[in-house]
Amino acid sequence: MTSLVVVLIPGTGVLYTVATGLFIGKRASVFAAIGCTLGIIPALLASALGLAAVFHTSAIAFQLVKYIGAAYLLYLAWQMWRSSSSLSVANEGSNKGYLDVMVKGFLLNILNPKLSIFFLAFLPQFIPASAQSALVSMFTLGGVFMALTFAVFLLYGFLSGLFSEYIVKSDKLSVLIQRVFASSFAALGVKLALSERA
């Protein structure tokens, strides 16, 4: 239940999946959800292997990943703002396009150092004291978290995809919404750049 609440709270992954569903289509939002979910794996591995502690204790490592992540969010914002125009969902059938969508979602999560620190602070609390292997328990809990993330992101993507056709029919509305999403990505990038270690 705690993981579900955390996943439901909109963040960069949700924003990206919703934007993909709105502007490219429901099928593309599935690949966005896959990419964002796979992007959890490095954070889970880092936490399980103790690497997340490096981000927590090393200011240089944390700052480096943080600024790269912030720059990537600002790049996505600029890319979306620059391409603000009337849209067509008809061009969503490219396999290369789907791969690009998935890779972007993956990068969004691995370039967020807060995710590794979150796993380090969050998951270990739920490992039973009687567990024979803390590592196995950590990966099990991480797998549950990833499954919930994928399911919730699929739901967000599907719901946004339902409105895609209505949005692309209106040139003014599609441009406005693209710019709102671009501004949101930029705001998240600035927020990440200004954030401090927990």
Asked whether the beta carbons of 166 and 174 are under 8 A apart, the reply is no
Which letter does DSSP use for residue 196 in this model? Answer: -
Query: pLDDT-derived band of residue 32, with 50, 70 and 90 as boundaries?
Result: very high
Residue 95 tokens, joined: 């396999």
Give dist(CA 95, CA 14) in Å, integer.
22
Residue 24 tokens, joined: 């490219």
Looking at per-residue confidence, does 65 or 40 come out higher?
Answer: 40
Phi, psi values for residue 94, rounded to 5°: -85, 130
Which letter does DSSP use for residue 75 in this model? Answer: H
Q: For residue range 101-141, what is the model confidence (pLDDT) as tens digits?
A: 999 999 988 887 667 767 766 777 777 767 677 778 888 88
Q: What is the largest CA-CA distance in the chain?
A: 59
Looking at per-residue confidence, does 33 or 138 come out higher?
Answer: 33
Q: What's the whole-model pTM score?
A: 0.70
Looking at per-residue confidence, does 95 or 180 come out higher?
Answer: 180
Asked if the model's pLDDT at residue 160 lies above 80, the reply is yes
